[in-house]
Amino acid sequence: MATFTRQEFYQQLLQGCMIPTAQQGLEQIWLLLLICLACRLLWRLPLPGYAKHLSTVVVGFYALHHFFQLQMVWVVLLSLLCYLVLFLCRHSAHRGVFLSITILIYLLMGEMHMVDTVTWHKMRGENLTSPHWDWDAGPFPSRGRRLPPGPRAGTGWRRGGEPGHLGSLPSSGRGEGSSGWSGGAGGQDSWVLSPVVPGCPTLGLSLSLSVAGAQMIVAMKAVSLGFDLDRGELPAVPSPVEFMGYIYFVGTAIFGPWNRFRCYLQAVESRALSLPWLRKVSRSLLLSVVCLLISTCIAPYLFSYFIPLYGYWQLRKWLRAYESAISFHFSSYFVGFLSEATATLAGAGFTEEKDNLKWDLTVSRPLNVELPRSMVEVVTSWNLPMSSWLNSYVFKNSLQLGTFSAVIVTYAASALLHGLSFHLAAVLLSLGFITYVEHVLRKRLSVIFDACLLSKRCPPGCPHRHNTNLWVRLLNLLFGALAVFHLAYLGSLFDIDADDTVEEQGYGMSYTIYKWSELSWASHWVTFGCWVFYRLIG
C-alpha cells in the first residue's frame, strides 16, 4: 500500500478538505450575510420606528425559517410566552425572576414531556456556547466534536487504499499501530482523501443547524430585559413589535451573540456605513473560516501528521483528548467569529464615546483559551457576551447564597440553557469546581508570597511586592499548563464514537464515565489535590 509524503498529504488536505470546506461553508451562510446587509441599508432610510421594528421581525422570521424550517415554531412559542409573562407582570418589581421561572419550566417540559427524546436532542443540541453544526453530508463540527476517521461526507474520506489514490491516511492514532506516515496495517482503519463523497455523485454540503442556539438567545434576551426593567435601566416595557424586533434581530437570531435591548435600539437607528465597519466584518468573517478549517481539517490530525507524536503510546490517550479539545474549541470560535460578522454587518456591536465610534464587538478570545493564564481566564474568554450575561443576571443575583453556591448556580444555569445532557452538565459543573478551587488557591498563594499569582492578571501598579520575578512567571506558567491539562481532559468528552442511536438520544452517564475513566479521572483528582493543598496552607 502506498504511503503519503508530507507534500502529498498537504496537497490532498488542501484539495480534498480545506478548499471544499471553505467554499461550501460560505455557500451556506451567504444568504444570511446578504440579509444582514440588506437590513443595515434599509434602516438607513428615514422610516418610522415601528416600521423598522416590524421589518426586523419579518426578516428574522424568514432567517429562522430558512435555517430551521418547522422547528422554528419552538422559538416562536418561547418568544410569545416570554412577552405574555412580561405583559402580565408589567407592574411587578420581579419581572426578571418570573421570566426566568417561565423559561425554566418551558425548557424542562421540552426536555421531559412535550417532545420525544430524539427530536428534542436534535433541536437542543449540546454545544457549550452557541449554535452548532450537525454532520449532514457536510464537514462541520457536530456538538463540538471532530468526526472519527471514518468516511467524511463532505470531504470525501474513503476507507482503504483504493486504486487512483495516493495511499492511506492513518486514522489519527485510533488504530494501535497507526503512527508516523505509513499506511494502516492488519485490522486497523486507514483512510484516504478522495474527491468523491461516499454514496453521492458530487461533493455536497447540507447545513443542519440545531434550533438550540436560537432558543438560548431568546431566553437570554428575555431574562436580561426583565432584570433591566427591574433595575430601572429601561424606562418602560417595550411594545410587542419592539420586543419581537429585539428577539428576532437577524444579526443575532441565528448564531448569537446575546446583546442588550438598548444595543438593539442603537442598531436599528443605524450608524453611517464606514471603512472600520467593513474591516471589522471582513476580519471576523475571515477568522471564522480559518477556525472552521482548523477544526475540520487540521485539529483531528494534529499529532498524527502535523506533529507526529502518536509513536509515544504512553501519551496517545491524552494526545487524542487534546485533539478533540482543539477541534471542539475551534468549532466554537468559528461560530463566535461568524456571530461577530453577522451582528456587525446588521449594525450592532459598537461602542460610542463622544464622536468616536468603534466597531469592537468581541465574542471570544482564542489565545486566552489556548494559551491561558488560568481556567478563570478560559471561561471568561470562551464566550464574552454569555459570560457577561451569566455574571450580570445569574451570579450577582445568587451571591446572597455565598460565593461557592453562586458559582455552582451559575454553571447549572449554563448547563440548563444548553440542554439537560449528563455529559454537558458534568463538564460545566466540573468547570465550576475547577475554577473555584483554582481561584481560592491562587488568591491564598498571592497573599502568602505577596506576588501576582491571582487567576486574573494584576493591573499595572498593583501593590504586590513580587510581580515580574522569574519564579512568579514560572508559577503562573505552571498554572497555565495545568489549565491546558484540564481543557484536554474536559474536551475528551467531545470525541464522540457512539453510534447514531445513542447520539440522537443524548450521551448519558455511562458514556461520560467511560471517557473520563480512560484518563483515570486525572483532572478531578488534581482538582481535589489542589483543594486539599489550599486547606492545608490556610
Q: How far apart are CA 157 and CA 190, in angstroms?
A: 10
**Rounded to whole angstroms, what are the CA distances from 88 to 82, 223, 357, 376?**
10, 15, 38, 39
Q: How far apart are CA 142 and CA 136, in angstroms?
A: 9
Print the SS3 string covering 230-253: HCCCCCCCCCHHHHHHHHCCHHHH
Helix runs in 110-168, H state only: 117-124
Is 418 tagged catalytic?
A: yes
**Rounded to whole angstroms, what are the CA distances from 114 to 1, 105, 108?**
53, 11, 9
Print the SS3 string covering 208-232: EECCHHHHHHHHHHHHHHHHHHHCC
Q: What is the DSSP letter of 258?
A: -
Q: Burial-class residue 113 by CB neighbours within 10 Å (0-12, 13-18, 19+).
A: exposed
Active site residue: 53, 121, 329, 418, which one?
418
Q: Residues of 147-165 as b/e, b for ≥16 C-beta within 10 angstroms?
A: bbbebbbbbbbbbebeeeb
Q: How far apart are CA 180 and CA 152, in angstroms?
A: 21
| Coil/strand/helix, residue 96 | helix
Q: Give the Cβ contact number of residue 129 at 10 Å.
A: 26
Q: What is the DSSP letter of 134?
A: E
Print the SS3 string covering 42-63: HCCCCCCHHHHHHHHHHHHHHH
Collect all residues with Cβ–Cβ distance below 8 Å to 432 and sequence separation of at least 6: 407, 408, 410, 411
DSSP string, 357-371: EE-------HHHHHS
What is the side-by-side order of every strand in the sheet holding 169-170?
Answer: 157-159, 190-193, 169-170
Q: Give the Cβ contact number of residue 426 at 10 Å.
A: 20
- Active centre residues (catalytic): 418
